[in-house]
Amino acid sequence: MRPPAVFFLLGALLPASQILAFKSNDFKTCAQSGFCRRGRALSARALAADLSWRSPYSIDPSSVLLAPDQASFTASVKSALYPEVNFGLDLRLHEDGVVRVRMDEIGGLRKRYDEAANWALVAPPRISRDISWKVGKNAVRAVYGEKKNIEVIVEFEPVRVVLLRDGVEQIVLNDGGLLHMEHFRTKDDAEPVAIPEGEAQTTLQLNNRAWFEGEEQDAWWEESWSTWTDSKPKGPESLSLDVTFPNHLHVYGIPQHATNLSLPTTTGPDAGYTDPYRLYNSDVFEYLPSSPVSLYGSVPLMHAHNAKSTVAIFNAVGSDTWIDIGRTETGTKTHWISESGILDVFLLPGPTPADIIAQYTRLTGTAPLPAHWALGYHQCRWNYVSSDDVRSVQKRLDNEDMPVDAFWLDIEYSEGHKYFIWDKKNFPDPVEMIKDVEALERRMVVIVDPHFKRDSSYPVYKAASELDALVKPKSGSGEYEGWCWPGSSSWVDFFNPASWDMWVSFFKTKSVDGQWSWIESTENVGIWNDMNEPSVFNGPEISMPRDNVHYGGWEHRDVHNINGMLFANQTYNALMQRSDPPKRPFVLTRSFYAGSQRFGAMWTGDNVGTWEHMAIGIKMVLANGLGGFGFGGSDVGGFFGNPDPEMVVRWYAVGAFSPFFRAHAHIDAKRREPYLLDEPYKSILRDMLRLRYAMLPVWYTAFKEMSTTGIPILRPQYVVFPEDAEGFAIDDQFYVGSSGLLVKPVTTRGATSASVYLSDPQIYYDYFTSHAYPAPAKKVTHGRTVTVPAALHEIPLLIQGGSIVPTRERPRRSSALMRHDPFTLRVALSTEGSATGGVYLDDGEGYGYTNGEFVWREFGAETKKGGWGKGGELKIWSKDRATQGGSNDVAVYNPANVFAKSVSGVRVERMIVLGVGSRPALVSVNGGSTVEWEWQEGIGSGATTEGKAGVLVIRDPAVGITSDWQITVVF
């Protein structure tokens, strides 16, 4: 967002179309950023020199030292350019095959920032001891892995690190010789010496630095841009590293960018973009729907994929980072240029997308299981203007039978934008208002931003100021002052541990030891952390000056991308401590970093009400999922603008299939709560909201899986079918968890049908009509495209044959009211006549599940004795999920736990079996009583021509969701 003064002034003068535009002048291009310019110039020199280019960095063979733990080695590295400077390299192998490579300057003039990984990582990873090392004259080799098929080679001269699997190169560091750690120096250091024109570089000239570093000291000690000057007291300290994937043509990840999932290139003749991708958390006004420009969050993780292998690199750096991507005939070359920090890179060996996600979330943690209500529908706008406004929106949704779980308050609830302090004129009774919402076990979510109004009568600012826990200006003392919503503001420095207890005490609902606490709230309120990039209206690139000083003396430039995560992290921690026993906190953050998934949900920021933004939001949520942060969504309806009813309807379908489903609108946008639409739009929205609620068991189960293995909730085509090259660039359709649901939201105007790509030779069924798209008759190795109906009231939603999908189909006003509702099971038979599925349930709010208080069922179906022929049988069963798997295993699991008992009366009220090719003779339960059923004629799951599937509806089989049972269908 931009400062309102500017916005409103412009608003008075300009037509809307001109106001709504990305302000490219607010952000630097690579050419306007000193260190990026230097990094790109380095790669241009390497390209020009071609084969004669040689990295000046080498390892001194005599320094190689294997650690006694056998899991790592250290070595000293020298740059031929600066023989007097020492660098240290260490390489460490983790038990799951991940390789960590670190390099730092040793004994330099200053210390480089080396704490990014400490914030990102959950715990020191387990190291591998099962390694065969070979220290040779020219290289160190380590062979390891269960099959002894992974090899890391560190070559000495020049330094080159190669990860191989089955003898094939997967990842190479410094293959292009672009590794460069600008060491600390004094201003008097000699200028680089120029090479005389026309003279080629020779080994003897390695001490001549200009061939490598360039001839000028470009922006070494100060940098001016627009109206700002960055004082750069530490001088040049950037880090350049090339990472090559010699055999991978697709790379994904490095969220957050508004771009395709398979990342377009930024170098070479067919480059998709001219600037590198940038990771520098920024509040970008009206961001473009296709651009490498950095947005609100940064996860420096990149997957590289081919049909046989997925690998990844995680570059634990917290400073401004630019990434070029170029393609070779067989692979991808990337170049990472960071402003500061040590080299701390993790090589993830895969070999599958699921392995990469597991390896990455083992490092940075999986998302916790959220509160169940957080998966419902969230109603937000900037702003609901009074407590009565909130009550009236709740009433109108209720009157229209539209389910909702959360009402949100944006910044105008607060007096003068002093967060926590209610504007009593409009919110005279905040606690009563919150309780009115909580009466139906709904929740309120209230915004708290990280900038505090500099007003000594504001207790929150006063406490932080007295603690000396605010970010400091470049002088290193006092309080940095910038401009944000409240006017003159200061920012809490969450790197300062002293701020943590303060933050905990703010969120208490009763004052402790006379400290200021938010007593005018309840233990259930969720928190929205916005503007935490941080956004500073009058700062460079709408953020803080890079020479601001944080706790420990680190400059803002060192920690910029981590800053926003710490805010949400501490809010999460504070909410957790509001009650005893704790309840699962809900925190929404705009800014994020690697590891942010551990602290809540994210959204894609200030999108625009256009079709392009609707479409790009899907890709952004998919990319975030690959970065471990799957709990995400975009503002439904678009933040800016006034979408017409068709667009609103399509956007609700996108929202209903997003992990985080929130409608939000800008303060200037017209009201657009779903009940305000005319018919038929209003009824379509009601149906979509109800569909979301009916599918909550699917969503919750997918969240459970994500919390145990890291696997994202929305799974792109290449993650589900890693071997199908035709799916590698598909990013407009996705699977929901492992439910077998495949959705392709419509993001274009006037559509009546949609084409959906199917990778596998498997039957798919339309979720709504039971129309079947059978597997191809002949065995084929490639996928197929089917056309599915997609009129405005229709969502292209298919069920993959072989899946069992649990739903709860009684319309309710909030998710909590569904706690004891019966289930429907949709059994979508595969071409072979079988299916599997599951459901995870718990109390949705506390942590009893960590002690085994949950229900995790596995469902199965199998056709026996010749299928639909006379005497054939179909069996459908439910059993306890035998293994709990994943990272948060419980030690002892008792199927008769307290939670399971509380839902033991919940039954399956209906089964809808898709692909039943003939009329059954009898349906019985547990080998005994028969039940009512109905068969709608249609094709069987093994059919080869498209048509309506035969559907068997089993009515109220009277089986419990927590019990073991078996249904037998006899033909």
Give least dist CB 235 to ligand NOJ, A: 35
Binding test (CB under 6 A) with ligand NOJ, winner from 355, 606, 705, 909: 606
DSSP-derived 3-state class of residue 458: coil
Using the minimum distance from each CB to ligand NOJ, give the nearer residue, 252 or 639.
639
Residue matched to tokens 């009400």: 609
Give least dist CB 629 to ligand NOJ, A: 17
* Residue 730 to residue 102: CA distance in whole angstroms: 35
926: left (phi over 0), alpha (psi -120 to 50) or beta: left
Binding test (CB under 6 A) with ligand NOJ, winner from 605, 625, 674, 716: 605
Residues 916-945 that bind ligand NOJ (CB under 6 A): none
The closest of 302, 307, 298, 263 to 278, measured between CA atoms, is 298
Binding test (CB under 6 A) with ligand NOJ, winner from 57, 113, 382, 657: 382
| Assigned token pair, 950 | 């035969």
Give least dist CB 614 to ligand NOJ, A: 16
Dihedral pair phi/psi, residue 650, rounded to 5°: -65, -35
The one catalytic residue among 606, 724, 731, 853: 606
Give least dist CB 534 to ligand NOJ, A: 12
Dihedral pair phi/psi, residue 17, rounded to 5°: -60, -30
Binding test (CB under 6 A) with ligand NOJ, winner from 410, 479, 533, 673: 410
Residues 254-293 that bind ligand NOJ (CB under 6 A): none
Give least dist CB 634 to ligand NOJ, A: 11
* Residue 591 to residue 256: CA distance in whole angstroms: 10
Give least dist CB 655 to ligand NOJ, A: 15
Element (H, E) at 406: strand 406-409
Residue 1 interacting with ligand NOJ (CB under 6 A) = yes
Binding test (CB under 6 A) with ligand NOJ, winner from 139, 154, 313, 411: 411
Q: At what angle do helices 498-506 and 459-466 cross, to 10 degrees?
A: 160
Residue 837 interacting with ligand NOJ (CB under 6 A) = no
Q: Is 766 an annotated catalytic residue?
A: no
- Sheet strands (E) in 539-644: 587-589, 601-603, 632-633
Using the minimum distance from each CB to ligand NOJ, give the nearer residue, 230 or 530.
530
Residue 633 interacting with ligand NOJ (CB under 6 A) = no
Q: Is 606 an annotated catalytic residue?
A: yes
Residues 513-572 that bind ligand NOJ (CB under 6 A): 530
Long-range contacts of 11-14 (CB under 8 A, 24+ apart): 11/668
The one catalytic residue among 151, 223, 449, 530: 530
Give least dist CB 427 to ligand NOJ, A: 16
Using the minimum distance from each CB to ligand NOJ, give the nearer residue, 178 or 616.
616
DSSP-derived 3-state class of residue 12: helix
The one catalytic residue among 286, 410, 533, 821: 533
| Count of residues near ligand NOJ by CB under 6 A | 11
| Assigned token pair, 962 | 């927590």
Give least dist CB 619 to ligand NOJ, A: 19
Residues 656-675 that bind ligand NOJ (CB under 6 A): 664
CB neighbours of 377 closer than 8 A, spacing ≥ 6?
Answer: 402, 403, 404, 405, 406, 655, 661, 662, 663, 689, 692, 693
Cα separations (Å) of 405 from 10, 392, 402, 965?
37, 15, 10, 33
Site string for ligand NOJ, 437-466 (x = CB under 6 A): ----------x-------------------
Using the minimum distance from each CB to ligand NOJ, give the nearer residue, 616 or 835.
616
* Residue 654 to residue 634: CA distance in whole angstroms: 9
Q: Is 862 an annotated catalytic residue?
A: no
Using the minimum distance from each CB to ligand NOJ, give the nearer residue, 3 or 108.
3
Summarize the chain as % helix, strand, coil (round to 5): 25, 30, 50
* Residue 943 to residue 947: CA distance in whole angstroms: 9
Give least dist CB 413 to ligand NOJ, A: 10
The closest of 347, 332, 341 to 245, measured between CA atoms, is 332
Residue matched to tokens 């089955």: 166
- Residue-wise DSSP of 133-158: EEE-SSEEEEEESTTS-EEEEEETTT
Using DSSP, how many helices (H) and how many strands (E) does the chain show? 17, 51
Comparing every residue's Cβ against ligand NOJ, the nearest one is: 382
Using the minimum distance from each CB to ligand NOJ, give the nearer residue, 414 or 968.
414
Q: Which residues are catalytic?
A: 530, 533, 606
Query: Which residues would be at the binding site for ligand NOJ (CB under 6 A)?
Result: 1, 382, 410-411, 447, 530, 590, 605-606, 639, 664
